[in-house]
Amino acid sequence: MPEHHQHEHKIEVKVVTTAGNFPESGFKEFNRHEKLETVLKEAAEHLKLHNTETWIARLGDRQLNPALSLEANQIPDKSKISWAPSEPGGGELCIPR
């Protein structure tokens, strides 16, 4: 497959947490068909985060679904994904999986 076609399947993202950013500077390239949970797990490992199962990933005000791909979550190239513990009380209803 020509290189320019391979690049069309890539997207650059940064995961932003209170413990730090992944990657620390710039963005990391992922296949847009990669599940968001894979990106978040890699960020957790890099930042040595634990107990992130209940954390919420957001793009702006929109909550993202970790079980879906980056593309299905409609995450554009060069996005900064905020990832933090869910806030207790108020906000959206959390339904266990």
Domains annotated on the chain, with CATH:
3-85 (3.10.20.90)
Sequence-separated (6 or more) residues with CB below 8 Å from residue 19: 47, 48, 49
Q: Mind listing the pLDDT tens digit for each residue in 27-86?
A: 999 999 999 999 999 999 999 999 999 999 999 999 999 999 999 999 999 999 999 998
> Considering the entire predicted model, what is its pTM?
0.82
Give the torsion through C-alpha atoms of 90, 47, 26, 66, to 10 deg: -50
